Copies of this chain bind each other. A is one copy, B any other.
Amino acid sequence: MTLAQPESVRVGVLGARGRMGLEVCKAVDAAPGLELVARIDAGDPLSSAAEAGARVLVDFTNPGVVMDNLRWAVGQGIHVVVGTSGFTQERLDEVRALLAESPGTGVVIAPNFGIGAVLMMQFAARAARYFDSVEIIEQHHPRKLDAPSGTAMHTARLIADARKAADCPPMPDATEEDFGGARGASVDGVHIHAVRAAGLVAHQEVLFGTAGETLTIRHDSLDRSSFMPGVILAVREVVKRPGLTLGLDDLLA
């Protein structure tokens, strides 16, 4: 026998029939302490979330409707976890203004709910100052349109900022002849190599080196289920964090 859990958090999902929304519904359903009370998609009234008693909404919709969803939810004092993209500075300012008028309510907006990816970037930023060299190798399926990946670019900038803050000297590199550009792209002085091959999904390796040792941080992502632990973490945390939280970094203890 399992005891009733009187404090389980009631959760509604917006965009519940989308690819991410379906995964979120499954994940909320399976998470101890959370209860899925509303699956809402295009055509369904937002009010049904309130009627179902949702305390948190998870929004994986689209940039065209997400601001309306936020206006309504924050107005109702319902917390929101947002994975929808397209948040400009202007939009973030509006969310802050909405929250200022609803001081107990929390909103988490994250571009990436992969805890592994977030930790990889945190660790990379932290290690950056202690090594002479660092390069990034990202590997993706061959249908990807852009190189390097956004995550690799972001990681390179975090590393460059950390090295600059610690007054690190430039990395050693005696290359005189680089046939055909084999040394890859340099983003803020950090070299990035983009591999594209069938059979790959989404992978990134950050390689740090100093005389006699290397430290490698590697993240392999195989499917979108990997984002669910981050969504669940955000749902659990948003109820304790009034105001706007950007990214998962602050939620990781």
Contacts and interface: CB of A to CB of B under 8 A. Distances in A.
Interface of A: 114-117, 119-120, 123, 126-127, 129-135, 137, 139, 142-148, 152-153, 166, 171-187, 191-201, 207-229, 252-253
A1 B127 CA distance: 33
A221 B181 CA distance: 24
Chain A interface helix/strand/loop/mixed? mixed
Contact of A119 (B117, B166, B191, B215): B215
Residue picked from A146, A177, A185, A215, most chain B C-beta under 10 Å: A215
A232 to B, nearest CB: 11
Contacts of A134: 197
A172 B185 contact: no
Contact of A148 (B182, B186, B195, B219): B182
A120 B234 CA distance: 26
Given A145-B177, A172-B198, A212-B228, 18 more contacts: A115-B131, A116-B210, A119-B130, A142-B174, A152-B182, A174-B196, A180-B185, A180-B187, A181-B184, A184-B193, A193-B193, A197-B208, A199-B210, A199-B214, A199-B222, A210-B226, A212-B221, A212-B225
A114 B210 CA distance: 10
A172 to B, nearest CB: 4
B218 A209 contact: no
A222 B153 CA distance: 27
A147 B139 CA distance: 20
Contacts of A142: 132-133, 171-174
A32 to B, nearest CB: 10
A147 B178 contact: yes
Contacts of A117: 213
Nearest to A162: B253
